[in-house]
Structure 1
Amino acid sequence: MLEAVTFTVVTLGLAFVSRASLRKPGSHGFYRFIAWECMLGLFVMNMRVWYDNTSAPNQIMAGVLFFISLLLVVFGVVLLKVSGKPDSSRNDVPMFEFEKTTALVTSGIYRYIRHPMYSSLIFLGWGFFCKQPSILGVILAVTASLFMIATARAEESENINYFGDVYREYMKRSKMFVPFIL
């Protein structure tokens, strides 16, 4: 019962904050919502075992993935706010206020990866999976990861429309999610 209530309440909250994106299929926020739902499913499936056997290898791996996720999101958000020059009047696609950047951020973590916050969500999803690995869990984690890739690709198209060739050049010298690899 707790799982169903948690899933329903959080889904309603996510749907509310994503309402503009949900009205625009193909936007990065549309795909992100689906990824969030998969990650929420993983969290809800595993929330009762969150602190069970915390020294087990899968629990330790979950902790490592959560830590990486936290670092990525903190560095990503701070740099976006400090260097991205957000402008609330930008309304080319449905975006959260901090996403409405007017300057392309290519320093710090963004020097190496274009989507640290989406990378953070991928690590978070796999951390949820590691709490209690299962077949359904791997399906949800893979699906969430695929939708995060779709999110990043949609956002890259939006960024090319806004920043033009500067963004295309940036894509050539940086990776999508993992420095030097992917």
Structure 2
Amino acid sequence: MNFILFILISLILVWISRHTLKNYRSHGFYRFFVFEGIAALLALNQPYWFNDPFSIRQMFSWALLICSIGFVLCAVKLLRAFGGYSRRDDMPENFTFENTAHLVDTGLYRFIRHPMYASLLLLNWGAFLKHITPVTLSISVITTLFLIAVAKVEEKENHIFFGEAYTEYCSKSKMFLPFLF
């Protein structure tokens, strides 16, 4: 059943990412593998989500998962309020919400440059903690490496689009976790 769930999720992700998968230089290419890693973790660990619910490991897992939801909701709200939209002919594979016209550096974005990727990072490790095995650890580490790759590629794209303002913004903010990383 878990394998079938993973295959179904993967087929959906391939269809959604079909344009970005054609351009290995876009951040979306690497983001696909992040989603695949998280899908694998969810499928593998799904039977263990509610085992031993009051253990430290489970409570820490739920804290990461809840923070993940908070980060993505906050990021979407800020992008809608302050990001605007700009047509990006140089990146036709981008989704519309990715093509912001204005650099958002308020709210959560004041502290971290990639709150949506931070959300995925928290989701990744929160799902991993549901059932720790060498396989799930490997998937989580590889997914984290792909998240770093996604952020680095997107930062190159943002430097080109926003110029010096983005360089200054990078010097004042962290990549994923406020005050840490």
TM-score calculated relative to the size of structure 1:
0.96
Partner of 2:127: 128
Partner of 1:163: 162
Partner of 2:4: 5
- In 1, Cα distance between the equivalents of 2:172 and 2:49? 39
Which amino acid in structure 1 is aligned with residue 116 of structure 2? M
Partner of 1:85: 84
- In 1, Cα distance between the equivalents of 2:3 and 2:44? 10
| Runs of 4+ deviating beyond 4 Å | none
The CA deviation at 1:16 is: 1.1
The CA deviation at 1:54 is: 1.1
1:28-47 aligned at under 5 Å gives the runs 28-47=27-46
Q: 1:38 touches 1:141 (CA, 8 Å); kept in 2?
A: yes
Which amino acid in structure 2 is aligned with residue 139 of structure 1? S
Which amino acid in structure 2 is aligned with residue 73 of structure 1? V
The CA deviation at 1:97 is: 1.4
User: How many equivalent residue pairs?
Assistant: 180
Q: 1:26 touches 1:154 (CA, 8 Å); kept in 2?
A: yes
Which amino acid in structure 2 is aligned with residue 46 of structure 1? N
The yes-or-no answer on 1:63 pairing with 2:62 is yes
Q: 1:116-167, CA deviations, whole angstroms, 9 ceiling, x for partnerless residues?
A: 0000000000001000011111111111111000000000001011111111
SS in 2 for 1:131: coil
The CA deviation at 1:10 is: 0.5
Q: Which runs of 5+ in 1 are unaligned?
A: none
Partner of 1:143: 142
Which amino acid in structure 2 is aligned with residue 32 of structure 1? R
Q: 1:58 touches 1:132 (CA, 8 Å); kept in 2?
A: no
- In 1, Cα distance between the equivalents of 2:51 and 2:113? 36
- Across the aligned residues of Structure 1 and Structure 2, the Cα RMSD in angstroms comes to 1.0
Q: Which runs of 5+ in 2 are unaligned?
A: none
Which amino acid in structure 2 is aligned with residue 124 of structure 1? L
State the identity as a percent: 39
The CA deviation at 1:27 is: 1.0
